[in-house]
A and B are shown apart, each in its own frame.
Chain A
């Protein structure tokens, strides 16, 4: 049968964002694939060169709208590395707590989209309902639902509101109950399992060579998590387990993210219990010295790296952002080839695409 190219995107229910996947099919089998990105390229790296250091925090929020807290945190880490600012300990604990809340909210958003893709409407409604719990918490803290603008260079914007710790611990207890329910719901669904198990296998060697990071790497059996292996902030104080899985398929990616949510609940509770009193912010200098700074964090989607070059003024000379999804998507042809056209939804959904950070 003749081979043909099919465009899936830019407007396609599968894409969850703004990109185009061109697949070459022979009948129903995929023989080649080519992602096409850049529809959301806003030129953030150029924009940052014209903004002062604190002005970039809201833009860093909008890099990935699914997990804006981790991106503004990554940016603040990078600039603190450049300026040599020491962050107070209380601020570090607050940051870790908010990042883990953001991780849960981001993974729930992914789970909702994934369930919707695979035809489990109940999964969509349940996860979106419970995501609101964490969105409400962060809204009570920062005043915004999605783009928080909360971390600052040298700390966080303001202290926790009263009784925040109690509410957060209550939310994690609620979430753990719900996670059990999700596991029963998803893994008890025959359709979900059939569309996930042994679909989209990415071997360990390929995952490492192609630069795949984050849950997709850990689902391929590599035990590497920046929070554990190159710790930043106060993650060394936290007791948690790195979720890995050795099946390398879509089910493994789902499983790794579910396990990460369990661990995030534990980290939130530990951060609240260990949180010291004290200052939550130091004043950072206005101008950065001449030099470079680099910051790496474990985003919900993988390894986020920022590299900043300072030239002595109050604006960065160059800010380079490494998006985990940008590199993961480039591995898509390797994962897709050999599967059926109907598996594209499961495979690309399982990678947790976020086009905002991908295109920058």
Chain B
């Protein structure tokens, strides 16, 4: 298994089927690296089950963490961005996949109710753009410096964000 390296610029040889079974020490390497590089903002790094990790990050360091994840830790693919409306905060949950280490990381960041905004990561993973637009459209979370942040599923002229808990259809 290759040791991270230039995972963002994947070449033909870097994604190869690792011979070992799912879940080896690369999980702990990911959590350790995140905790060492971002000691103040990354917390609660846990292994939920083999292959699935979970970590919490403060929104100020989200972009940096994502860069490190892609460039150094080999997470090439952003699976899903989901925004959840809790009573006191919005949570934006990123599910990120590593093809080469066969890992799945749940990265949770919280944003306050009165300023629901996080940094856009569509310059890290190109596939994030539409998912950010969707989260903005349905939940009203603003992704700062997203290249094209506008409504995607609902018509352009509606005013509400339907997935918020205070919205009654």
A and B touch in the complex (CB under 8 A): yes
Residues of A within 8 A of B (CB): 37-38, 41, 43, 45-46, 204-206, 208-213, 221-224, 229-231, 294, 296, 303, 305, 307, 309, 317-318, 320, 322, 326-327, 329-331, 359-360
Which residues of the other chain, B, contact A211 by a CB distance below 8 angstroms?
77-79, 125-128
User: Do residues B127 and A318 form an inter-chain contact, with CB atoms below 8 A?
Assistant: no
Pick the residue among B15, B82, B84 that contacts A223 (CB under 8 A). B15
User: Are A305 and B95 neighbours in the complex by a CB distance under 8 Å?
Assistant: yes
Q: Which of A208, A231, A303 contacts B79 (CB 8 A)?
A: A303
B163 close to A (CB within 8 Å): yes
Pair A204/B93 contact, Cβ less than 8 Å: no
Q: Are B84 and A331 in contact (CB under 8 A)?
A: no
Cross-chain pair count, CB within 8 angstroms? 99
Chain B positions near chain A (C-beta within 8 angstroms)? 9-10, 12, 15-17, 22, 51-52, 76-80, 82, 84-85, 93, 95, 97, 99, 102, 104, 106, 125-131, 134, 138, 152-155, 162-163, 169
Known: A38-B152, A46-B163, A318-B85. 16 other contacts (CB 8 A): A41-B153, A206-B126, A208-B10, A209-B126, A209-B127, A213-B77, A229-B17, A230-B51, A294-B52, A294-B95, A294-B104, A305-B80, A307-B82, A318-B82, A322-B95, A329-B130
CA distance A43 to B127 in the complex (A): 22
CA distance A359 to B154 in the complex (A): 10
Q: Given the interface contacts A296-B79, A318-B84, does A326 sit within 8 Å of B134 by beta carbon?
A: yes
- CB-CB under 8 A from A224, the residues of chain B are 15, 99
Known: A205-B10, A231-B22, A294-B52. A212 touches B127 (CB 8 A): yes
Chain A residue, CB-CB nearest to B106: A294
Distance to closest chain A CB from B137 (angstroms): 8
Known: A204-B10, A296-B104, A326-B134. A46 touches B95 (CB 8 A): no
Which residue of A has the minimal Cβ distance to B103? A230
Are A307 and B99 CB-contacts (below 8 A) given A209-B125, A210-B126?
Answer: no
Q: Which of A206, A229, A327 has the largest count of B CB atoms less than 10 A from its CB?
A: A327
Contacts of A331 in B (CB 8 A): 126-127
Tell me, rounded to whole Å, the shortest Cβ–Cβ distance linking B55 to chain A.
14
Q: Which residues of B contact A231 (CB under 8 A)?
A: 22
Asked whether A230 and B104 contact (CB < 8 A) given A209-B126, A320-B80, A330-B127, the answer is yes
Q: Which residues of A contact B12 (CB under 8 A)?
A: 204, 221
Residue of A nearest to B108 (CB): A292
7 smallest beta-carbon distances between A and B, as pairs: A211-B127, A320-B82, A322-B80, A38-B153, A330-B130, A41-B153, A209-B126
Is the pair B17, A230 in contact by a Cβ cutoff of 8 Å?
no
